[in-house]
Amino acid sequence: MVTTKTVPAQKTEERKSRERYVEATGGRKTAIARARLFSSGSGFTVNGKTYQEYFRGEKHRTIALSPIEVTKEAVRVSVMVRGGGINAQAEAVRNAVAKALVKLNAEWKKRLKREGFITRDSRMVERKKYGLKKARRAPQWQKR
């Protein structure tokens, strides 16, 4: 008699791997986010934590959730984000989630574009130049 054991955790992993999702990437400064939207279920995780645990400030939570608030869509979101600061990461998550929502339903593109969630903000920190204290700040001039 041969018996086989199936570990429940393996079953859920197999189900998750077969589950269909839409994926998109977003960015802001040096932060890069990869968002996956699952049509089944609900929830919002960032780097394996709930979005409340990851984004401590209410401002960052609002920024990250804004595309879902605009579309009022019930989806499960899983985001991996790295680089940059917490504010840039929140805006990168917003950009990635908005792009994924457009892939899920093209009718939302106009509304999300109008809110400015689809467009990546291309502004970056200007590099420091030789002979200057910062990017543009020159040393103070002295007469004597």
**pLDDT at residue 16 tops 60:** no
In whole angstroms, give the CA distance from residue 46 to residue 55.
Answer: 9
17-115 belongs to which CATH class? Answer: alpha beta
Q: Which residue has the higher pLDDT, 15 or 55?
A: 55
Global pTM value: 0.82
113-129: per-residue pLDDT in tens? Answer: 999 999 999 999 999 99
As a whole number, mean pLDDT of residues 13-21 equals 66
pLDDT-derived band at 3, boundaries 50, 70, 90: low
DSSP string, 2-20: ------HHHHHHHHHHHS-
